[in-house]
Amino acid sequence: MTKKGKLANQARTDESGSNSGQLTKPDLTTLQGAKKGTDGQLDAMIESFYDGVWIVDPKGFVLNANKVALSLHGLKAEEIVGWHITELINRDIIDRSSTMEVLRTKKQVHMLQYLAKSKKYLLVTATPILDGAGDIAQVVVTDRDMTELKDMWEHLDQMLKLQGDSHKEQFKKGMLELKGTRIVARSEAMRKVLEIALRLGQLSVTNILLLGESGTGKGLLAKFIHENSPRNSGPFIQTNCAALPETLVEMELFGYEKGAFTGSKPTGKVGLFELAQEGTIFLDEIGELPPSVQAKLLKCIDEREIMPLGGLKTKKIRCSIITATNRDLEDLVRRRFFREDLYYRLNSFNIQVPPLRERPADVVELVKNFLFTYNKTYKTEKRISMSTIERLKNYRLPGNIRELENLIRNAVVVSDGNTLDEYIQSYIDGKRTKEMVYSTEEAHGLDKRLRDKLLAAEINALKEALTLGKSTREIARILGISQPTVVRKLRKHHLPILKADQPS
């Protein structure tokens, strides 16, 4: 016998003192005494309720139900009134009973009830009415239709789930595309970088600044952002500002009109910004951009238009701008080698790409990828042991991914035998030996290389200051040293002294 049947039989046993084995609808005349209290004014009152209302006697038999309750259940009065509450469960009219819980505990009960016939969800509240002796005289049950509200919540939940799934699917799609871009993101740090990049790309954000050491993959990340943006059908134009001669940077970026200068092409030249229309332009090593071009780039970003060299009419640009640098732009701003206003324009959103030493989990996958690529390129079958890979993970790799790729490629080509272990271990040992030598030299103040580097840095600082200042006094202010010191250092390094400062 089912649990519902047992419950019904138990209720019948409680009513008659014997178990007849089957609960049947009682003769309504036996309920008249109990039902008197529900006639007249009480009937009118319960019919006035917005909610469904039931009146149940202390033994679990339904005495009355208003029209709202009947409508919610999709039944007629004779199909409910006079029946024991457990029989309603057996007949699948309700799925569970709040009344039986009240009769057991003598406390108010709230529950969500599902009606199979009308496919509705009801919020049910069953309240015991106690007599003077503290016993239950009746149970008043109210039903409130929660179907619409539940549907709204389920719809909202589904929308949020779909939105979350959409983001996950987009992220998965973006991650799948990494195979084409050679980006590896096994580490948590790199995965966070890609999530941010994906979000910025999907929102079609412009003026994104990528920061990080040389060789960390900023160029690949810029392409990843472009490919996951609404502009992905447009061109991706990339240039390295450090590789362009200072005299040609402006022409490369903004182009020139025909006849702009002697020797120019008769047809003129389209600049990179114009080539990037409806796509993305990526300016790598933006920190090397000459000061003379920085002002024009700022105007281009602010007004979203360019003026080709020798042109008389501006051209509107419609492209995303991504820049990257391995230099400390804030330091360059402090030293007045980089325009502060341009820095803040470019730095609307920035992504810090972590160096490889901070993402050792990516080293393993990168090694496998590079080994597969160069084995295929050079038609070899070289291998590498996990112990050597572990050594690579513990080696700081100052050149990051670029250094690791070069190492694997050279090892595949140069190493004898079928394993790369000896070549790679020798490389790491050699690098560490040099680092120890450098540390020893620095400790004893014998590092001539350091002096050479400082001297070169001084010369570069003077050269950059010469492009910014109109006099040695301005240069002194820019560099934070005295004017006589500026003149002395210019003469020392055979650099030109500005005419305005030369003695008459």
Q: Which two tokens stand for residue 195?
A: 């999530």
Q: Are residues 338 and 376 in the same domain?
A: no
145-181: b (≥16 Cβ within 10 Å) or e? bbeeeeeeeeeeeeeeeeeeeeeeeebeebbeeeeeb
394 shares its domain with 474? no
Q: Are 292 and 177 a contacting pair, CB within 8 Å?
A: no
Q: What is the pLDDT of residue 490?
A: 85
Give the residue from 243, 238, 250 showing the smallest Cα distance to 323: 238
Q: Is 1 helix (H, G, I), strand (E, B) or coil?
A: coil
**Tokens for 352?**
């810090």
Q: Which pLDDT score, from 0 to 100, does residue 273 have?
A: 92
Residue with tokens 């900023």: 218
| Cα gap 154→160, rounded to integer Å | 10
Q: How far apart are alpha carbons 282 and 446 in whole angstroms?
A: 42
pLDDT in tens, 303-313: 899 988 888 88
Closest alpha carbon to 362 in 326, 399, 400: 400
Range of the domain at 140: 3-145
Q: How many CA atoms lie within 13 A of 399 on its CB side?
A: 9
Same domain, 223 and 310: yes
* Statement to judge: residues 345 and 400 lie in one domain: no
Residue 29 DSSP label: G
Helix 448-468 vs helix 483-492: angle between axes, to the nearest 10 degrees? 120
Instruction: Write the DSSP assignment of 91-157 as a string of letters.
Output: TTS-SS-HHHHHHHH-S-EEEEEEETTTTEEEEEEEEEEE-TTS-EEEEEEEEEE-HHHHHHHHHHH
Residue 163 lies in a domain: no
Last residue of a domain, one of 302, 331, 352: 352
Specify if 7 maps to a domain: yes
- Phi, psi of 237, deg, nearest 5: -105, 125
Give pLDDT, residue 41: 66
Residues 63 and 202 in one domain: no
What is the distance between the alpha carbons of residues 155 and 422, in angstroms, rounded to a whole number?
62
Three-class secondary structure assignment of 55-77: EECCCCEEEEECHHHHHHHCCCH
Single residue among 122, 145, 168 that ends a domain in this structure: 145
Residue 127 Cα distances to 73, 274, 376, 461, angstroms: 20, 76, 78, 86
Q: What DSSP string runs through 220-244? A: HHHHHHHHTSTTTTS-EEEEEGGGS
**pLDDT tens sequence across 57-87:** 998 898 888 888 888 877 888 888 888 888 8
User: How far apart are alpha carbons 463 and 447 in whole angstroms?
Assistant: 25
Same structural domain, 218 and 337: yes
The domain that contains 381 carries what CATH number? 1.10.8.60
pLDDT score at 440: 43
Q: Name the residue among 147, 128, 125, 127 with its Cα closest to residue 137.
A: 128
DSSP-assigned letter for residue 383? B
pTM: 0.54
pLDDT of amino acid 447: 55
> Residue 379: what pLDDT?
92
Please check whether residues 13 and 129 belong to one and the same domain.
Answer: yes
211 and 304 housed in the same domain: yes
Q: Looking at the structure, tell me whether residues 141 and 57 fall in a common domain.
A: yes
- Whether residue 18 is found in the same domain as residue 108: yes
Q: Is 302 a domain residue?
A: yes
Contact 82, 62 (CB under 8 A): yes
Cβ neighbours of residue 192 closer than 8 Å, sequence gap 6 or more: none
In a domain, 166, yes or no: no
What was the pLDDT predicted at 162?
A: 45
CATH number, domain containing residue 252: 3.40.50.300
The rounded average pLDDT for each run of 10 residues, N- to C-terminus, in the chain (504 residues) is 45 43 47 47 72 87 87 81 84 81 87 76 86 88 72 51 48 47 79 89 89 92 92 92 83 84 78 92 92 88 88 89 93 90 89 92 90 92 90 89 92 89 87 53 54 80 83 85 85 74 46
Residues 6+ apart with CB under 8 A from 230: 202, 204
Instruction: Give CA 489 to chain center in angstroms.
Output: 51
Asked if residue 305 belongs to a domain, the reply is yes
Calpha distance 282→238 (Å, rounded): 5
Is 440 within a domain?
no
Q: For residues 117 and 93, is the Cβ–Cβ distance under 8 A? A: yes
Last residue of a domain, one of 289, 318, 352: 352
CA atoms within a 13 Å half-sphere pointing along the CA-CB vector of 182: 15
Position 120 scores a pLDDT of 76
Say if residue 138 is exposed, middle or buried (CB neighbours under 10 Å; 0-12, 13-18, 19+): buried
Number of domains in the chain: 4
Q: Which amino acid is at 242?
A: A
235 neighbors 261 (Cβ within 8 angstroms): no
Residue that is written with structure tokens 């005299």 in the block: 247
CATH value at residue 24: 3.30.450.20
Is 150 part of a structural domain of the chain?
no
Question: Based on the domain organization, do 343 and 371 belong to the same domain?
Answer: no
In a domain, 403, yes or no: yes
Residue 321 and residue 382 in one domain: no
